Structure 1
Amino acid sequence: MREPVVPAEPGTAPDLVELARVVGRQRAEMDRLREQAATSAVVERAKGVVMALGGCSADTAGETLLQRAKAARRTLLEECWITLGELAPARSGEPSARPAEDTGDTTAGFPEADPPATPSPPDDVADALGRLARVLVRTDTPQELARCLLEHLGPDLDADSVMIYVRRTDGSLELLGHAGTGERLAARWSRVPPFGGVAVLEALDSGEPLWLEDFAGDSTRYLLIGDPPERWRSRAWLPLPGGEGPGICVGVLRGRSGPFTPRDRAHLRGAVRLCADRLRAFAAPSEPVAGPLPGSVRALFAALPVPAVLLTPLPGPSGGTEDFRIDAMTAQAADVLDGTGDDPAGRRLREVRPDLVDTPMWRGCLDTLAGGGTYESEPFAHQEVVDGVTEPATYSVRVTRSADALVVTWLRHASSDRQEQRLADLQRLGNLGWADWNLTTSEASWSSQVFAILGRDPADGPVRLVDLPGLAVPEDRSALSGAVDALIREGLPLDAPFRVRDARGVRHLRLAAEAVADLRGTPVEVHGFVQDLTARRRAELALVETERAIVTQHDVLQAERSLVARLQNALLPLPERVVDLAGLRVEVAYLPAQAGIHVGGDWFSAIELPDGDALFVVGDVAGHGVDAVATMAQLRFTAKGMVITGSSLTGALARLNTLLLHSRDSHGTATMVLARYRPAQRRLVWAQAGHTPPLLLRDGEVTYLRRPSGMLLGGAAGPHFEEAECLLEPGDRVLLYTDGLVERPPENIDVGLARLAAAVAAHPDDEAGSLGVLLETMLEDERRDDVCVLDIRVPKER
């Protein structure tokens, strides 16, 4: 037993009590921070495994773990341990690089100011916890969980028994589950009063594990469980982390003496964290027991002439209301709520009507229970059977609180009530109100909606029909007055728009009315309605403005496209037939994009140089419009000029890159292929700047030429360019093209290159016009980019 507590001297006890409270709060906060850090470390390790195996992002890995846990009905922590355990075979031969957990006894003394983050357990412990997580999902009772823990901890920690206690509201301990103790001993220790000298209570009070490793010393301080107590020479009591919900403590009892090693302590802490959610659910307050109702309550519900039900709230694991139990019900309520004719008294409301959970009535019950006052629902339709015939009825629900229960009643609306409700709904949905005028007595009657629409105080009363035009803005009074006069004098129907001005601004209204005449044909009454069309009118005006802006913008863009197209045609004339160039047959195709109205910066050049060689250029400037066309022209003519004056292909690319970087008139970046053909050797020398490689067709086999080094123009200062060469043979076919021929977002460009190779292999003809067939095959869908192609053929020898 503990030593008795000696009271402090007068004047000091309050200070010590307050100090103890502060220390207790600090310990609880330390425990919460440690457990958050430990749980976060496990989750992050599991996310890292999923990222490594699946090649995904951290957010995707976290979502994957959540979905797995939900599908397997596990907690997130259980799923994380299982994921880490799946790596056991790969790590079985590796030494653990993690430091052992410092788990010295911290049950005495003051807490540290900043608690250290709990380190991750060693790899073999993580693997063991992963295996435990797999079997925990099959435990449905505290007894099964205790047996599961003992089977898991027994071989590894020499555990002989497991006991799980929960502290109830009166401070006593209740044995929630046990394994390895025997039923007689468990019955003896099933309830423990809240007195001193109990190790479980001390662990719960401190919020820290209590390691009892010295039996001789511990037996003098605590009342030890056991018959005899020497049955277990060492034991550990570990409270659930977090401090939320009921206090729960897990005890692991061993027959052998000796300390728990740092590895053992890490293992036990991890196992308790893993079981925490399930233990809290098991220890939640049980469902209130339905006792016999007083006779007065039964008599009251038997005499009630309306559908009514008495509901008792049922708490869930988190403490909030999870469901309601039906304790009493009138016969009419059974028909409305259940519809089967059976008496559902004693059953759960969600069992009888699971569809009510997402309804306003359910939220109204929760609000009323929380002190929000009486709840009254909007009228709703309900199909009921009268004399064997199903007919619609209208009900509303009223929820009131009576002590700790709820009384729910259903009010059936009469036919007249339904008609009034429908009229009210019609006025609300149509934003209109009805009005009557008696032309003989000059009396008027308006619905409340008319006063709201006209912005008139109901205390001022309605106005006469002849005075109604005076409420309109001056510009509309004359037309409205003439229509009202024709209605009153000649009985002509009226349907006139008019505007009023109030605190909300100018509002667009509509008055529709017709007259009721006497036997002589003289109008004596007028019935009609006033409707607010402000929102519709504003939408119409906004639509007109939008259409006008669209037409204007379309005209501007069409003019720009026409200008750019003319400029492009002037700068990039297309040959109308196949061209013979340096002994080669060259065919050109240029197709502008169909998507949008902008033209782009694709271009080509195919010329014969002064020395008899041929120069071929295909390029693509980023962007569309006037700027792209201007940059295209600059690059096209500059490239030709540089090569004609003797510059090498790589030198020309380097100077063009400098031009784009330092010219204020340049437009972004560009890609390009420069190729020079020497007919005497049939040698094709080429260089590229970030462009797709040329395609070669030889003897029916398609290959892409290996690209030499070279990055796109305008991307960086001082890029490195290289040349490559290819000896052509009679019958060879070479394609230079821009990326619009092969790209189809969002697919990879390699897919487009493979598609082009297949299409060329399928159409190897060298007849004129075969390029058109190839383009039709490649460009089946709408073109989102320009397409430029140079089709170069080496004639076959005769």
Structure 2
Amino acid sequence: MRERPGDLRRDGAGRQPAPGAADTPEPTEALAALVAKLRTELTGVRAAMRNRAVIEQAKGVLVERLGVTPDEGFDHLVKLSQRANIKLIEVAASIVGGTAADPQVTPVTELSDGGRPAPARGTTPAPARRATPVRRATPTPATGRRPAGGAAATGRSARAPEHEALQAQHQLISSRVAASTTFDEVAEVIGTAVTSWPAPATVVITLLEPAGAHRLVGAHGMSAGERGAWRRVPPQFDVPIVTAAQDRAALLITDPKVLAERFPAMAELPYAAEAVFAAPLLDGDRVIGSLGLSWDEPIDLDDTSRRYLSALAPPVARAAAQVADRAPSPASGGPDLTAGPDSDPASWLAIVLETVPEPAAVLAPVTEDGRIVDFRIWHANAAAAELISPARAGEDATLLLAYPRVGSERLLPRLADLLHNGGAVRLGPTRVDPASTRLITAQAGRLWDRVLLVWREHSEHELIHPQLLDAERIARIGSFHWDLADPEPRCSPQLYRMYRGDERPGRISAEGLAGCVHEDDLPAVQDAIHRTLTGGEQLSWEFRGAGRLAGRQLRIVAAPVVDAGGTVTTVRGTVQDVTEERALQGRLRLAEEALTAQRRRVDAELRAAQSLQRALLPSEPELGTTEGLWVTGRSRTSNSTGQVNGDWHDACALPDGASLLVVGDVAGSGLAAMAAAARLRYAVRSYAALNMSPGEILAAVNTMLCALEPERTATLVVARYDSREHRLCWASAGQAVPVRYRGDGGAELLPGPLGLPVGVVAQVTYEDSTLEVAPGDRLLLYTDSLVGARGTDLVGALDPLLGAGTHAGRDDLEAVVSHVVGALHGGADADMAAMLVRVNG
């Protein structure tokens, strides 16, 4: 039987292990154990490398003090460590720290309540110095020799034991930082070192990019995801590391409330921060990045701790500059240039600037009380050096010295904002000073903690020339200058473009220009040119093009120049393509003619509609023939619209002695609406003469409209009054309900249903409503336009209608209409029809 691989296990010599022997570990477990062991050894080697510099310095001190060999000095260190039960590196740091002077640090700005800077404590402000070209600082190796002057020179006797401990810690941290090979190792040293302040929760190191952004290059206490999300911090993002770099001053905030008020953007960070320290990383007078520490709870530091906290920045800056020089750029595979240029004229920045044909300079900010007051010309190319006068091109040359007015008013505030927020600055043509004819255009971008400015000076003529060329191109006009002693005229680029299709200069002869004129227009153009050349007349002529200009309309204007004897020597002029203008004028002329014809048609139609309306509406004598009734009516046309609408009213006596009352409104306006109203008027009269009731009349009219004019609709109120029985029978087709004003002063709407407008739906039945009226009662019949447009809710119009009884009692229809229109805020001249009827007895 074939054995499976797991059924038989053998030792390294192929022998089967003895019974009871322990199983060998799995390959993955063995590999994991080996990796863990190697990682531990690597960590130990790295720690030893970081500590070696301090141990070597301590051996040097013992050699100088005790007169022993280096090996004997190391034995002394080992014995001191064993005797005091203290780690060897800590003993070495104490010896070196006790002999070193206090570090020189800049003040730390601490924000108090309200975000106001508090006075710096425990620090000695660095002496002010004039900015100079950048030179990278080279660390001076320790000699181990005690400075002359004994203990007083080193300051050892003046320092308390706590101070000595801080100095030893600082020396140890500085040595470990200097021995680090990556930015993450530098951050880890600061985050894990034993110091007088609490261990920070997060340490970040950033390098300043040319555009002003901070690139995260090292961190401790941040996950990979957090580092990826905050790989780059823009200059306008208000966080302490950005502010410290911009102000070139260390910043400490120990109050969480002050931190939240001064830097609200900190709430967006992926970790909690209750206290923050930030310091700029300086390489000479140049900011190369920032160091940031944050704690997840408030801290309280004494003056000495603040001093040594600020002292972290210089060794980190030196290590950052060295690490940046060694690290390859992921994008290009070459050196990482984010550490910035140096002042060597042969450096890459100087080489790049010299290739720029325009004046270019790198400007370094000059600050007073934290505010930028000027920019020093840190480096300028040859073109810029020639542009700046020799008296201002020395070491102290500044932006305001070179350009006092435009520099202070336009450039200085915009460049200062550029340093803080990044982006770009573009300055259009601006006069250098009010009395000068020089103009300046400039572009600027941020370059680390400085500004790269590229500018150019212009004369007004230099700027006007391209402006004129643009004007010729936009207006499609070319110019020429023809010296008659020269057979060829000198033309502008636009004229070349019109003649040949491109603006390259070339030969244009008089014969060639003649070939551009349509053969039918050529004699007239030649005659006009002849008068100009011989008689000195100014030429202004339009002609049609030929050849490449076929289909174009051109206009030539020429002015001759004559000498003292009256002879024409030169002709200057322009040629303009006016095809689009003439086409537009032609279309405008046609539109005006069409508008005039339309206006005449509308006026004729209006006059016809007005005549038809006057013929349609009954006269007052005709209204007075109704038996037992007094009737007055009004049909009004709006003056603002200039159109006649289809509102009408009618009253007449019927053969049986009854009276017919009608108010109607045909949809639409103009002659067609009035013609439809005329047909409806006579149709209603005809149906009424057949002794049809109002409901039957509306049904017949509806059938007529649906059959003969299906696109037309109308609203009507038809009433029939029997004077012998004082009985009123009425029906409505989409019109408003009539109003009854009783003789005793009361008012009411007539009871009865409302039907659909006629012409909407065929085969509609309309119901009659009957009521008895008394002598002295008055009835108001009206179109719905009196109380609002069609479709308006009529509930709000009841009070004005019912309240018009006083005016109706005086038989004043105009007063009734004015009262209702005024109460409803309607149009004073809106089209409407109304009829007021009084029952006599």
Letter in 2 for 1:713: V
Letter in 1 for 2:738: P
Letter in 1 for 2:669: H
Letter in 2 for 1:594: N
1:516 aligned to which of 530, 538, 561: 561
Question: 1:674, CA displacement in angstroms?
Answer: 1.4
Alignment of 1:405-424 (within 5 A): 407-424=452-469
1:382 aligned to which of 430, 441, 451: 430
Specify whether residues 422 and 579 from structure 1 end up closer, same or farther in structure 2 by C-alpha distance, changes over 3 A only.
same
Q: Counterpart in 2 of 1:679?
A: 723
Matched, 1:543 2:613: no
Write the deviation string for residues 241-292 of structure 1: whole angstroms up to 9, x where unpaired. xxx9789xxxxxxxxxxxxxxxxxxxxxxxxxxxxxx9995559x9998963
Which has more radius of gyration?
Answer: 2
* Structure-2 separation of matches of 1:773 and 1:308: 82
1:669 aligned to which of 687, 692, 713: 713
Question: 1:765, CA displacement in angstroms?
Answer: 2.7
Matched, 1:712 2:712: no
Alignment of 1:628-643 (within 5 A): 628-643=673-688
Alignment partner of 2:580: what SS? helix
Alignment of 1:121-520 (within 5 A): 282=269, 292=286, 294=340, 296=342, 331=399, 336=406, 339=409, 347-348=417-418, 380-382=428-430, 384-385=432-433, 394-398=439-443, 407-455=452-500, 458=503, 461-465=506-510, 468-501=513-546, 506-520=551-565
Alignment partner of 2:521: what SS? helix
* Structure-2 separation of matches of 1:188 and 1:456: 72
Question: 1:345, CA displacement in angstroms?
Answer: 6.1
Q: Counterpart in 1 of 2:238?
A: none
Matched, 1:529 2:574: yes
Write the deviation string for residues 460-489 of structure 1: whole angstroms up to 9, x where unpaired. 735345763442112221221111111111
Q: Counterpart in 2 of 1:582?
A: 627
Write the deviation string for residues 370-395 of structure 1: whole angstroms up to 9, x where unpaired. xxxxxxx8x94435545xx6x68644
Q: Are 1:395 and 1:412, in contact at CA under 8 Å, matched by a contact in 2?
A: yes
2:811 aligned to which of 766, 779, 782: 766
Specify whether residues 579 and 728 from structure 1 end up closer, same or farther in structure 2 by C-alpha distance, changes over 3 A only.
same
Q: Counterpart in 2 of 1:620?
A: 665
Alignment partner of 1:671: what SS? strand
Q: Are 1:298 and 1:328, in contact at CA under 8 Å, matched by a contact in 2?
A: no
Write the deviation string for residues 310-331 of structure 1: whole angstroms up to 9, x where unpaired. 899xxxxxxxxxxxxx999861
Question: 1:731, CA displacement in angstroms?
Answer: 3.6
Q: Are 2:693 and 2:768, in contact at CA under 8 Å, matched by a contact in 1?
A: no
The number of residue pairs the alignment matches comes to 507
2:700 aligned to which of 648, 655, 661: 655
Alignment partner of 1:486: what SS? helix
Q: Are 2:618 and 2:650, in contact at CA under 8 Å, matched by a contact in 1?
A: no
Identity of aligned residues (%): 27
Alignment partner of 2:551: what SS? strand
Specify whether residues 430 and 736 from structure 1 end up closer, same or farther in structure 2 by C-alpha distance, changes over 3 A only.
same
Alignment partner of 1:475: what SS? coil
Specify whether residues 188 and 525 from structure 1 end up closer, same or farther in structure 2 by C-alpha distance, changes over 3 A only.
closer
Q: Are 1:500 and 1:506, in contact at CA under 8 Å, matched by a contact in 2?
A: yes
Question: 1:536, CA displacement in angstroms?
Answer: 1.9
* Structure-1 separation of matches of 2:777 and 2:653: 19
Unaligned runs of 5+ in 2: 1-24, 29-182, 188-197, 205-220, 232-264, 288-339, 366-373, 378-397
Question: 1:791, CA displacement in angstroms?
Answer: 1.9
Specify whether residues 583 and 188 from structure 1 end up closer, same or farther in structure 2 by C-alpha distance, changes over 3 A only.
same
Specify whether residues 505 and 619 from structure 1 end up closer, same or farther in structure 2 by C-alpha distance, changes over 3 A only.
farther
* Structure-1 separation of matches of 2:771 and 2:827: 35
Question: 1:757, CA displacement in angstroms?
Answer: 5.9
Q: Are 1:673 and 1:687, in contact at CA under 8 Å, matched by a contact in 2?
A: yes
Q: Counterpart in 2 of 1:159?
A: none
2:777 aligned to which of 710, 727, 732: 732
Question: 1:785, CA displacement in angstroms?
Answer: 6.2
Q: Counterpart in 2 of 1:151?
A: none
Q: Counterpart in 2 of 1:12?
A: none
* Structure-2 separation of matches of 1:775 and 1:734: 15
Specify whether residues 380 and 536 from structure 1 end up closer, same or farther in structure 2 by C-alpha distance, changes over 3 A only.
farther
1:696 aligned to which of 717, 736, 740: 740
Q: Counterpart in 1 of 2:132?
A: none
Question: 1:400, CA displacement in angstroms?
Answer: 8.0
Q: Are 1:307 and 1:333, in contact at CA under 8 Å, matched by a contact in 2?
A: no
Q: Counterpart in 2 of 1:600?
A: 645
Letter in 2 for 1:339: E
* Structure-2 separation of matches of 1:295 and 1:720: 99
Write the deviation string for residues 190-242 of structure 1: whole angstroms up to 9, x where unpaired. 699xxxxxxxxxxxxxxxxxxxxxxxxxxxxxxxx9xxxxxxxxxxxxx99xx
Specify whether residues 385 and 408 from structure 1 end up closer, same or farther in structure 2 by C-alpha distance, changes over 3 A only.
same
Q: Counterpart in 1 of 2:691?
A: 646
Specify whether residues 445 and 603 from structure 1 end up closer, same or farther in structure 2 by C-alpha distance, changes over 3 A only.
same
Q: Counterpart in 2 of 1:146?
A: none
Question: 1:436, CA displacement in angstroms?
Answer: 0.3
Q: Give TM-score, length-normalised by structure 1.
A: 0.52
Query: CA RMSD of the aligned region, Å?
Result: 5.4
Letter in 1 for 2:603: Q
Q: Are 1:674 and 1:688, in contact at CA under 8 Å, matched by a contact in 2?
A: yes
Specify whether residues 469 and 732 from structure 1 end up closer, same or farther in structure 2 by C-alpha distance, changes over 3 A only.
farther
Question: 1:677, CA displacement in angstroms?
Answer: 1.9
Write the deviation string for residues 647-680 of structure 1: whole angstroms up to 9, x where unpaired. 332233333333333x043433221111122323
Q: Are 2:479 and 2:575, in contact at CA under 8 Å, matched by a contact in 1?
A: yes
1:554 aligned to which of 586, 599, 610: 599
Q: Are 1:516 and 1:523, in contact at CA under 8 Å, matched by a contact in 2?
A: yes
Write the deviation string for residues 29-51 of structure 1: whole angstroms up to 9, x where unpaired. xxxxxxxxxxxxxxxxxxxxxxx
Q: Are 2:821 and 2:828, in contact at CA under 8 Å, matched by a contact in 1?
A: no
Q: Are 1:608 and 1:614, in contact at CA under 8 Å, matched by a contact in 2?
A: yes
Q: Are 2:625 and 2:652, in contact at CA under 8 Å, matched by a contact in 1?
A: no
Specify whether residues 394 and 734 from structure 1 end up closer, same or farther in structure 2 by C-alpha distance, changes over 3 A only.
farther
Alignment partner of 2:495: what SS? helix
Alignment partner of 1:482: what SS? helix
Alignment partner of 2:552: what SS? strand
Question: 1:495, CA displacement in angstroms?
Answer: 1.6
Letter in 1 for 2:666: V
Which stretch shows the higher mean deviation, 571-580 or 641-650?
571-580
Q: Are 1:335 and 1:341, in contact at CA under 8 Å, matched by a contact in 2?
A: no
Write the deviation string for residues 89-144 of structure 1: whole angstroms up to 9, x where unpaired. xxxxxxxxxxxxxxxxxxxxxxxxxxxxxxxxxxxxxxxxxxxxxxxxxxxxxxxx
